[in-house]
């Protein structure tokens, strides 16, 4: 059995301003730094074999606070990045609705096939994230290990939905709070994983 602990990064300044971040980098706010420290403390009692994170600084900083409790340096992987929102990045929802009203309406009707210019489709995010997960769960890896994966709200909603067989267009029903923790178990069945959720978006450690 392989345990995967998914963590969303701490709050950023753009989270506070409700801007699309995507693959642009906004630094953690003071609260976000506090959240990163708290999630590090929360996971300090777990036996963790490796910490992986997106190459975006908000994820890396959060992963550092987790890894330092275990003498582990986060292993950076761009496949764990947030979904790219293309030309919407840096804009608020209100600005997007005003500047891209037709695209906003089209995406509201069909989020899976409506591409934001220079952005990714949800299925593409899932594909790259699954590529990473397959490497970590394939035969030949230790079948009794725990890893932490620090990523981003949109990407994590999509990936958790895919692993739990929830339609991707319903992924917004899975809240991913800043520094929230979701834990899934991978039971290897041949070359595939059967995924089982232990907890989704636990935030009690932030109180």
As a whole number of Å, the CA-based R_g of the chain is 17
Q: Which of 9, 89, 152, 183 is catalytic?
A: 9
Structure-token match 């804009």, residue found: 91
Please provide the size of the chain in residues: 207
Active site residue 130: no
Q: Which of 11, 68, 73, 82 is catalytic?
A: 82
State the Cα–Cα distance between residues 141 and 148, nearest whole angstrom. 15
The total of other beta-carbon atoms located within 10 Å of residue 37's CB is 16
State the Cα–Cα distance between residues 157 and 171, nearest whole angstrom. 5
- The CA-based angle 5-7-11, given to 5 degrees, is 170
Active site residue 82: yes
Question: What residues are annotated to the active site?
Answer: 9, 82
């Amino acid at each position: 059995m392989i345990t995967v602990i998914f963590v969303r990064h701490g709050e950023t300044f753009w989270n506070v301003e409700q801007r699309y971040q995507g693959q642009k980098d906004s630094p953690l706010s003071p609260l976000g730094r506090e959240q990163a420290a708290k999630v590090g403390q929360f996971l300090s009692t777990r036996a963790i074999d490796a910490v992986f994170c997106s190459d975006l600084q908000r994820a890396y900083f959060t992963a550092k606070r987790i890894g330092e409790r275990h003498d582990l340096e986060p292993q950076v992987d761009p496949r764990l990045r947030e979904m790219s929102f293309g030309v919407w990045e840096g804009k608020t929802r209100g600005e997007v609705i005003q500047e891209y009203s037709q695209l906003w309406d089209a995406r509201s009707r069909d989020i899976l096939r409506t591409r934001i210019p220079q952005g990714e489709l949800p299925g593409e995010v899932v594909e790259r994230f699954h590529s990473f997960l397959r490497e970590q769960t394939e035969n030949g890896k230790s079948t009794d290990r725990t890893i932490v994966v620090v990523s981003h709200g949109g990407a994590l909603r999509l990936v958790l939905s895919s692993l739990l067989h929830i339609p991707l267009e319903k992924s917004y029903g899975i809240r991913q709070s800043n520094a929230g923790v979701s834990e899934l178990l991978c039971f290897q069945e041949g070359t595939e994983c059967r995924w089982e959720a232990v907890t989704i978006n636990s935030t009690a450690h932030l109180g």
